[in-house]
Structure 1
Amino acid sequence: MSPISGLTRLELAALIAETLKKAGINVVLSGGSCVSIYSSENYVSKDLDFIDISLKSNRQIAKAIQSLGFENQPKNSRHFIHPDTELSVEFPSAPLTIGDEYIPSSAVNSIATEHGTLRLLTPTDCVKDRLANYYYFGDKQCLEQALLVARAHPVNLASLQRWHDNEQEQEGYQDFLILLSEK
């Protein structure tokens, strides 16, 4: 039986992160899978987006993740699939930023599992990430995802306001707060 079979999203993400870490590759989970984890799967992402904050080459990442049975799809890309999971794995380009805000490695969250430790965006930064996709790409699902996370976890409203000010999205922030209060 494959070591991938039957793992939850969190367990699989932690196993991948731990495998990469052993190869000297430090990653942080971002994107929709953070929403899935923080919303107890009320939103279901189809991929795991890892930002490689150690800035390793595609070849180094591929070698490490292929040790778990993942294969490039297409070849030489930063996109990987495995026959024993519906979740694909992607490596968007570093650095770890949300809009114009750089997220330092020391400011991410960690969740320990029996398969290793997963480093991921904090709930506050996850909300920012989803709102950025809503504001800049018009993805209304991302607004709903931001609300799911903000309703399930405490978020730092002062940090959210600073981020909105920096992104020149003050009106968006007011709209978000109104929707958040409606529950």
Structure 2
Amino acid sequence: MEKLYDSGKARAVGVSSFSCKKIEDLLAIARVPPAVNQVECHLIWQQDKLQKLCHSRGVHISAFSPLGSPGSSLPGVSGAIVLSNPIVISVAEKLQKTPAQVALRWCLQMGQSVLPKSTNEARIKENFDIFEWSIPEDLMAKFSEIKQARLLKGEFAVHPLSVYKTLEDLWDGEI
């Protein structure tokens, strides 16, 4: 990737699903540091430690599945828990917004870019209505009360012959 960057064929280098340990290991040897780390991040998996590390090292967080993958057909994924979380619903009602808008706005206020997916035109339009308002600090603080759980665990990458023998190996203990 660094050769592509040097040749001008890439304007930046990015990584995906890197844990704190993987980011630190990469930054220790990279000549061209990553500009972005695309990770699962939402109100149910806020990744505070990773966010702080990336921010301090100049690595932008891009949140995939910022709505928690509602309607996902992935095995073991119950993404609707983000949008049906009582705290998220309560904040949404107070702000007269949808839970999805609150979830996306939280990401923006945390300094992240978001990659929501929808095939529903009305929801796509609704997802754009997140820029002209903000979540007050007292309501932002409520999100720290949400029990954290990684929804996309990565079982597909775990195998006895893989470098990742367990989920703990894959996520460097950040589960």
Q: TM-score, normalised by structure 2?
A: 0.30
| Larger RCO, structures 1/2 (Cα 8 Å, 6+ apart) | 1
Larger-gyration structure (1/2)? 2
TM-score (norm 1): 0.29
- Structure having the higher strand fraction is 1
